[in-house]
A and B are shown apart, each in its own frame.
Chain A
Amino acid sequence: MKDRQQSSNNSIELLTFQLGDQEYSLDIMSVREIRGWARTTPLPHAPNFMKGVINLRGTVLPVMDLSQRLGLEARAHTNRNVIIVVKYEDVMTGLLVDAVSDIIALSDDDLQPPPDLSGSPSPNVVRALTLVGDRMIRVLDLAAIVTPSQIIAA
């Protein structure tokens, strides 16, 4: 598998992380940094997945709970939770996840399109699926997560 990665021109690197017992990933190019859990300042009347804002070296960073954003069950937060700071179209957002696992490199060929979810009420935020060993990893579509137009669907 390693050989294939290097020979492929369209290889991408993914940051994988845990949400509950599921494994998700994001294109590492969109990840700015990973921070430990910090207490957020809640925003009034915010949607439930908006955890609030934190101080990221002098700028105000909105943080959303990725589990809740994806419609998974909310869990109590522990100190092991981390915030992945992502940047999409110049807007920085923090994504709260359970734990960061790994960085994997794949070629585009390894990605499979997700099954058609049009019947599902949840927003289609999974861009692709991939198998690493026997683990299935969901590749998230960052745009769908941090773009406001998707909130209404959420």
Chain B
Amino acid sequence: MSNTPDPMAEIRASFFIECEELLEALQDGLMQLDGGDGDAETINVVFRAVHSIKGGAGAFGLERLVRFAHGLETVLDEVRAGRMHPDSEALKTFFVAADHLSDLVRVSRDDTPLPENQTADLLTQLNRLLGEDAASIDPLDEVEEDIDFQPMGLSLDLDLGLPDIGIDIAPPQPARYTVQFRPAPELFETGNEPFLLLRTLDQMGDCHVACHLDGLPDLGDLNPETPYLGWTIDMTTEADDNEIASVFEFVDGLCSLTITRVDGDAVVLSAPDTAESGDAGNPALPILDPAPFPPLVQDPAAAPTPTDPPQRPDDGPAVDRSPPTGASAVNAPAKPASAAANSVVRVDLDRIERLVNLVGELVINQAMLSQSLETSGLSPHSDAMNGLEEFQRLTRDIQDSVMMIRAQPVKSLFQRMSRIVRESSAAVGKDVRLHTEGDATEVDKTVIERLADPLTHMIRNAVDHGLEPTEMRVAAGKPEQGRVRLTAAHKSGRVVIEVSDDGGGINRSRVLQIATEKGLVAPDASLSDADIDNLLFLPGFSTASVVSDLSGRGVGMDVVRTAIQALGGRISITSVPGEGTTFSISLPLTLAVLDGMVVQVADETLVLPLNVVVETLTLRHGDVEQVHPRLNVVRVREDFVPLFDLGEELGYRAGVKDYEGAVVLLITQDNGANAALVIDKIQDQRQVVIKGLDDSFYRAPGIAAATILGDGQIALILDPSDIIANATGPGGLSVPASINQETPPQITGLSL
């Protein structure tokens, strides 16, 4: 085995990707078992996942991973065999073990150290599960002998590293082969010449060639472009059957070929009709045998003529390359498994990013084109305009498809959260069960990645603060086991993720007391329940009177909210005393495009996210009422809505004196309340590509991002809720006046 480091690293990398999938399957299976809806197949899946990880790990010499996986596997095997019926305690251990297994996979991948004792502890625990009657795990002995077992379900590549599989090249002994070779008619058509092949064989060893003339017709019927002859070559050579087969590499499928080791079995059977299927079966046949080809192949005389079909890949003919040592069976069974899963393509994220960027440019370009066509005064019914419409539709389709590539189910995220629940509930000594729903909901990959931290925090909060201690639950007549629900669903073009617990709900008087103590709220303020709940999002707020291990490290819900807002999302909170608290996050499906309303304010073009715009109004005389000098409201049917002048709030111009005839957008804010924004003109409603603003120098309040318009100008994308929260004008008091809004310094390094 003389593998260059590169292919090995690649295979190693693909092993770890595979591990991720296997770990996911493992988690899934355990969840099913835990939920009581697992069957015999479930435990098989779980077992296989661990087994495959062990197999791959063995191939790469990841001894610690092998040892632990082996321990876990042994216990799972007992369950699989029906000798053991896991109770909830055992399942808990399995979960912890699975978590640890994924830790081990990670540290093996990154080559970082992990304290050994945890592995040992868990192995002891697993051992205990086996009880006295079952065979206990002997982590060292058994593994050693088991290391070269046959990995199941893993792709063939992994066999590469198995140390003693016997692919090593022993000094070749001359052996006798019988090669039967009969060209098919197509062989000549592709410019091949049997003579050259025979000559190459001759150079490989001692050859006796017998020619079969039986197919030769009468001279009159002979077509000079059709091969009629066949040959049987008896050869004694040091080369093995692979090398012999490689001589015929370029005529593979164009002849019938049998290579038989005289003292062994027929090794190669290749005929025109079977060659194709043989090829398809081994698409990813690894180059197992890095031993150099004999130089004869490179011999100019034997080299393929330029007319040779170039489509023959150089990964060899459809030959089972296993050495004829009896180990050939090792490779075979793993193939069908990988064939079933090949409807999935793994693509480098960078490539997708590039595609997304290109599509973004396409959208901008299309906007430019339509703008210039419109200004050129073409009739809307001209061919050009019709074609443009078609183009727009196509662009949109392409965009949607590209976004779908980036979309991923939130399942992996949810699985991480179930681990958080296990760990955090163990840390605070509560019995908690996580219910997840909608884990097939697909969200942009970036959103998922950036959601992990805030969600972790919320889950910890729910376990630590949301759920009452067990005694209190019992006293309240609730089941001992606390419930945390994590759900995801698509709702009107956004993703809504909810974290809810069945705890005691928000203790509003306590929240208010803390907020007052910390000076966040004036003591005499009268706040609604929703207002009090929203106090949780204020910076520097923490209700836990005792700082626990889990939460209360000074990182509060305000950080969660900031993170969600940075994703273009909103977070809201509802709580029912005695019944629990629900945090609801609403997120855009993608971070790359936005359906926007393009408006004009004081000669500046601005974009508002379309989904916040509820309706548009034109103000008439008497619609606007002044509540006090700094607050105007507009009456919309039954409601009074605070009115903000966008031009003034952004500092583009002085406030409008007379609102009559002004165009107003009614928008909905994060907290569900409506607000009205005065603008100058509505321009358009269209999809815009979100361009991040580099705000390392200056972060403008109320600005979420930017986009490039059809004319190449940049338009800012507004965050209306932020504008209103920072409002200074006549409407600047939409937030309860009593809350000292501590606006963080605007010059920050936060990037969007």
Assuming the contacts A53-B706, A58-B361, A60-B691, asked whether A41 and B713 have C-beta atoms less than 8 A apart, the reply is: yes
Give chain B residues whose Cβ lies under 8 Å from the Cβ of A54. 714
Query: Are B697 and A62 in contact (CB-based, < 8 A)?
Result: yes
Which of B702, B706, B715 has the largest count of A CB atoms less than 10 A from its CB? B706
Query: Are B714 and A55 in contact (CB-based, < 8 A)?
Result: yes
Give chain A residues whose Cβ lies under 8 Å from the Cβ of B692. 60
State which of B604, B605, B650 has its C-beta within 8 Å of the C-beta of A45: B650
Give chain B residues whose Cβ lies under 8 Å from the Cβ of A148. 696-698, 747, 749
B651 within 8 A of A: yes
Query: Are A45 and B651 in contact (CB-based, < 8 A)?
Result: yes
Give chain A residues whose Cβ lies under 8 Å from the Cβ of B700. 43-46
Query: Are A47 and B364 in contact (CB-based, < 8 A)?
Result: no
Assuming the contacts A42-B652, A44-B652, A55-B714, asked whether A91 and B691 have C-beta atoms less than 8 A apart, the reply is: no
Taking the nearest CB of chain B, how far is it from the CB of A10, in angstroms? 30
A151 within 8 A of B: yes
A80 within 8 A of B: no
Fill in one digit per residue for B689-703: 1 if any A CB lies within 8 Å of its CB, else 0: 001111011101111
Query: Are A55 and B708 in contact (CB-based, < 8 A)?
Result: yes
Which of A44, A47, A50 has the largest count of B CB atoms less than 10 A from its CB? A44
What is the interface size of chain B, counting residues whose CB is below 8 A from a CB of the partner?
A: 30
Fill in one digit per residue for A12-40: 1 if any B CB lies within 8 Å of its CB, else 0: 00000000000000000000000000010
Taking the nearest CB of chain A, how far is it from the CB of B40, in angstroms? 56
Query: Are A47 and B698 in contact (CB-based, < 8 A)?
Result: yes
Give chain A residues whose Cβ lies under 8 Å from the Cβ of B649. 44
A70 within 8 A of B: no
A130 within 8 A of B: no
A9 within 8 A of B: no
Fill in one digit per residue for B633-652: 1 if any A CB lies within 8 Å of its CB, else 0: 00000000000000001111
Question: In the complex, what distance in Å separates the CA atom of A151 from the CA atom of B747?
Answer: 9
Query: Are B696 and A53 in contact (CB-based, < 8 A)?
Result: no
Question: In the complex, what distance in Å separates the CA atom of A146 from the CA atom of B651?
Answer: 24
Fill in one digit per residue for A93-132: 1 if any B CB lies within 8 Å of its CB, else 0: 1000000000000000000000000000000000000000
Question: In the complex, what distance in Å separates the CA atom of A10 from the CA atom of B440?
Answer: 61
Give chain A residues whose Cβ lies under 8 Å from the Cβ of B605. 41
* Nearest residue, chain B, Cβ from A44: B650
Give chain A residues whose Cβ lies under 8 Å from the Cβ of B747. 148, 151-152
Question: In the complex, what distance in Å separates the CA atom of A151 from the CA atom of B748?
Answer: 11
Query: Are A55 and B712 in contact (CB-based, < 8 A)?
Result: yes
Question: In the complex, what distance in Å separates the CA atom of A146 from the CA atom of B558?
Answer: 30
Question: In the complex, what distance in Å separates the CA atom of A44 from the CA atom of B697?
Answer: 14
B143 within 8 A of A: no
A142 within 8 A of B: no
Question: In the complex, what distance in Å separates the CA atom of A43 from the CA atom of B696?
Answer: 14
Assuming the contacts A39-B713, A41-B715, A43-B703, asked whether A146 and B697 have C-beta atoms less than 8 A apart, the reply is: yes
State which of B604, B694, B708, B746 has its C-beta within 8 Å of the C-beta of A58: B708
Question: In the complex, what distance in Å separates the CA atom of A31 from the CA atom of B746?
Answer: 28
* Nearest residue, chain B, Cβ from A50: B698
Question: In the complex, what distance in Å separates the CA atom of A54 from the CA atom of B712?
Answer: 9
B257 within 8 A of A: no
Which of B698, B702, B715, B749 has the largest count of A CB atoms less than 10 A from its CB? B698
B22 within 8 A of A: no
A92 within 8 A of B: yes
Question: In the complex, what distance in Å separates the CA atom of A93 from the CA atom of B692?
Answer: 14
Query: Are B716 and A41 in contact (CB-based, < 8 A)?
Result: yes
A79 within 8 A of B: no
Query: Are A60 and B706 in contact (CB-based, < 8 A)?
Result: yes
Fill in one digit per residue for B709-723: 1 if any A CB lies within 8 Å of its CB, else 0: 000111110000000
Query: Are B694 and A92 in contact (CB-based, < 8 A)?
Result: yes
Question: In the complex, what distance in Å separates the CA atom of A62 from the CA atom of B747?
Answer: 14
State which of B361, B651, B694, B702 has its C-beta within 8 Å of the C-beta of A91: B694
* Nearest residue, chain A, Cβ from B647: A44
What is the interface size of chain A, counting residues whose CB is below 8 A from a CB of the partner?
A: 25
Question: In the complex, what distance in Å separates the CA atom of A105 from the CA atom of B708?
Answer: 38
Give chain A residues whose Cβ lies under 8 Å from the Cβ of B698. 43, 46-47, 50, 62, 148, 151
Query: Are A44 and B702 in contact (CB-based, < 8 A)?
Result: yes
A78 within 8 A of B: no
A7 within 8 A of B: no
Give chain A residues whose Cβ lies under 8 Å from the Cβ of B712. 55
Question: In the complex, what distance in Å separates the CA atom of A61 from the CA atom of B716?
Answer: 13
* Nearest residue, chain A, Cβ from B702: A44
Give chain B residues whose Cβ lies under 8 Å from the Cβ of A46. 698, 700
Give chain B residues whose Cβ lies under 8 Å from the Cβ of A50. 697-698
Query: Are A60 and B714 in contact (CB-based, < 8 A)?
Result: yes
State which of A41, A47, A59, A91 has its C-beta within 8 Å of the C-beta of B696: A91
Taking the nearest CB of chain A, how far is it from the CB of B605, in angstroms? 8
Question: In the complex, what distance in Å separates the CA atom of A148 from the CA atom of B749?
Answer: 9
Give chain B residues whose Cβ lies under 8 Å from the Cβ of A45. 650-651, 700-701, 746
Assuming the contacts A53-B706, A60-B692, asked whether A43 and B697 have C-beta atoms less than 8 A apart, the reply is: no
Taking the nearest CB of chain B, how far is it from the CB of A43, in angstroms? 4
Question: In the complex, what distance in Å separates the CA atom of A91 from the CA atom of B694?
Answer: 8
State which of A44, A55, A62, A152 has its C-beta within 8 Å of the C-beta of B651: A44
Question: In the complex, what distance in Å separates the CA atom of A148 from the CA atom of B694?
Answer: 12
Query: Are B714 and A53 in contact (CB-based, < 8 A)?
Result: yes
Query: Are B694 and A60 in contact (CB-based, < 8 A)?
Result: yes
Question: In the complex, what distance in Å separates the CA atom of A39 from the CA atom of B700?
Answer: 19
Question: In the complex, what distance in Å separates the CA atom of A43 from the CA atom of B694?
Answer: 12
Question: In the complex, what distance in Å separates the CA atom of A75 from the CA atom of B692?
Answer: 30
Query: Are A43 and B716 in contact (CB-based, < 8 A)?
Result: yes
Taking the nearest CB of chain A, how far is it from the CB of B295, in angstroms? 51
Give chain A residues whose Cβ lies under 8 Å from the Cβ of B714. 41, 53-55, 60
Query: Are A60 and B693 in contact (CB-based, < 8 A)?
Result: yes
* Nearest residue, chain A, Cβ from B646: A44
Taking the nearest CB of chain B, how far is it from the CB of A60, in angstroms? 5
* Nearest residue, chain B, Cβ from A41: B714
Question: In the complex, what distance in Å separates the CA atom of A46 from the CA atom of B652?
Answer: 11
Question: In the complex, what distance in Å separates the CA atom of A46 from the CA atom of B282?
Answer: 63
Give chain B residues whose Cβ lies under 8 Å from the Cβ of A55. 708, 712-714
Which of A50, A55, A152 has the largest count of B CB atoms less than 10 A from its CB? A55
Assuming the contacts A148-B696, A148-B749, asked whether A44 and B701 have C-beta atoms less than 8 A apart, the reply is: yes
Fill in one digit per residue for A61-102: 1 if any B CB lies within 8 Å of its CB, else 0: 110100000000000000000000000000111000000000
Give chain B residues whose Cβ lies under 8 Å from the Cβ of A93. 697
Give chain B residues whose Cβ lies under 8 Å from the Cβ of A60. 691-694, 706, 708, 714
Question: In the complex, what distance in Å separates the CA atom of A55 from the CA atom of B703?
Answer: 17
Fill in one digit per residue for B664-696: 1 if any A CB lies within 8 Å of its CB, else 0: 000000000000000000000000000111101
* CB<8 Å pairs between A and B, sample of 5: A41-B716, A42-B604, A45-B651, A55-B712, A60-B693
Can you add 19 more A-B contacts, CB < 8 Å, to A44-B651, A53-B714, A60-B714? A41-B714, A42-B604, A43-B698, A44-B652, A44-B703, A44-B716, A46-B700, A50-B697, A50-B698, A55-B708, A58-B364, A58-B691, A60-B706, A62-B693, A62-B694, A148-B698, A148-B747, A151-B698, A151-B747
The 6 closest A-B pairs by CB, nearest first: A44-B650, A43-B700, A41-B714, A60-B706, A60-B691, A44-B651
